[in-house]
Chains A and B, each alone.
Chain A
C-alpha cells in the first residue's frame, strides 16, 4: 500500500490573505523575526491494491490536479511512502 502526504499551498506571487493575517498576528505578539510564512492544507491518503511507485505517483498527481488543488492559484507537493502491512 502506498501512503501519500500532500501539501497544497498558494503559488508564489499570489497573495495569501490567511498567511498574511497569521504573520501579522505573530508580529503583534512579538515574533517580529518571521521573514516569511506560508499557510496551506494537508491531506493524507492511502491507496489500496498493488501498484508500482510510478503508477501510484501518477494516480496521486491526478487527484491533486483534478480535485485537491486549484491549479490556477495553487501548487502541491507529494511525499509517497510504501507501507508494508
Chain B
C-alpha cells in the first residue's frame, strides 16, 4: 500500500506524516509535489498540516488551486481515501471536497495544546480501528480551527454520521468548556457523504508514538491500512 503525502510550499507536517507512515506504521510513503498531475500509483492521499502559501487570503485558499488538487478531487470522487490534517482540512474545505468552513478561533489566539477527542463515528475507513466513543489525546496547533456549518448542514452531518471526532473532556463529555476554538457542536473532524474523505484539525501524526506523549493517533493510520487491504 502506498500513501502519498502532498507537499505544498509552506507545508510543515509533511515529514512527520511521512515518518509515521514509514517508520511507525511500516507502510510505503512518497511525497507528492503540488505540481504533480498523476496519482495513479497511490492508495491513499494525505494533505498534511502547515501554512501552505503562508495562509494568504484564507488558510488553504491558494493551495486549492495547485495542479495536484484537480487530481485529488478526481481521486476522491472515485472513492480513494483522502485525509486532510489541520491545514489539509482547510484545503479540503476550500476545494469543496468537504462542506462548511473554518474561521479564526473564537479567542483570536493561536492554540497549541493537547486536547481530548471523542470518536463520534468508529465506522469510517479512518476510524474503524477505534472503539465507538473512545477518548483520544492529540495535539492541536492552529489559528483557524473554528468549524462553521449552518444549522441545516450541521443536522445533515449528524444524521449521516459524518462527524468523526468531537472535542471532549477526559471522560468523553462533549461540553462547551472542552471546546478549545468555538467549533460548532465541538466538531474536530468530519467526513464527506461517502466517508472516504476526512478532514480534522488535531494532529494524529504528532501522536503516534508513546515517547511523544500519546500514540492514540496511530490507529487512524492503521484503520486506513486495514481499509485498503481488507475493505
Contact B61 A70 (CB under 8 A): yes
Question: Is there a chain B Cβ closer than 8 Å to A58's Cβ?
Answer: no
Residues on the B chain within 8 Å of A72, using CB: 93, 99-101, 148
Q: Which of B154-202 contact A (CB under 8 A)?
A: 182
Residues on the A chain within 8 Å of B58, using CB: 70
Q: Which of A4-37 contact B (CB under 8 A)?
A: 10, 14-18, 20-21
Contact A67 B57 (CB under 8 A): yes
Contact B148 A14 (CB under 8 A): yes
Who on chain A is nearest to B60 by CB? A70
Who on chain A is nearest to B106 by CB? A17
Contact A70 B107 (CB under 8 A): no
**How far is it, in angstroms, between the C-alpha of A14 and the C-alpha of B104 when the chains are bound?**
11
Binding site for A on B (CB under 8 A): 57-58, 61, 65, 93-94, 99-101, 103-108, 146, 148, 182
**How far is it, in angstroms, between the C-alpha of A23 and the C-alpha of B44 when the chains are bound?**
45
Where chain B touches its partner, the secondary structure class is loop
Least CB distance, B182 to chain A, in whole angstroms: 7
Contact A70 B104 (CB under 8 A): no
**How far is it, in angstroms, between the C-alpha of A13 and the C-alpha of B58 when the chains are bound?**
19
Least CB distance, A19 to chain B, in whole angstroms: 10
Contact B107 A17 (CB under 8 A): yes
Question: Is there a chain B Cβ closer than 8 Å to A60's Cβ?
Answer: no
Contact B61 A17 (CB under 8 A): no
Least CB distance, A25 to chain B, in whole angstroms: 10
Least CB distance, A59 to chain B, in whole angstroms: 17
Least CB distance, A73 to chain B, in whole angstroms: 5
Residues on the A chain within 8 Å of B93, using CB: 72
Residues on the A chain within 8 Å of B148, using CB: 14, 72-73
A17-B106, A70-B94, A72-B99 given. 6 additional CB < 8 A pairs?
A17-B105, A17-B108, A18-B104, A67-B65, A72-B100, A72-B101
Contact A68 B57 (CB under 8 A): yes
Contact A67 B101 (CB under 8 A): no
Least CB distance, B54 to chain A, in whole angstroms: 15
Contact A17 B182 (CB under 8 A): yes
Of B57, B94, B100, B106, the contact of A15 (CB 8 Å cutoff):
B106
27 contacts between A and B (CB under 8 A): A10-B103, A14-B148, A15-B103, A15-B182, A17-B103, A17-B104, A17-B105, A17-B107, A17-B146, A18-B104, A18-B108, A20-B108, A21-B108, A67-B57, A67-B61, A67-B65, A68-B57, A70-B58, A70-B94, A70-B101, A72-B93, A72-B99, A72-B100, A72-B101, A72-B148, A73-B101, A73-B148
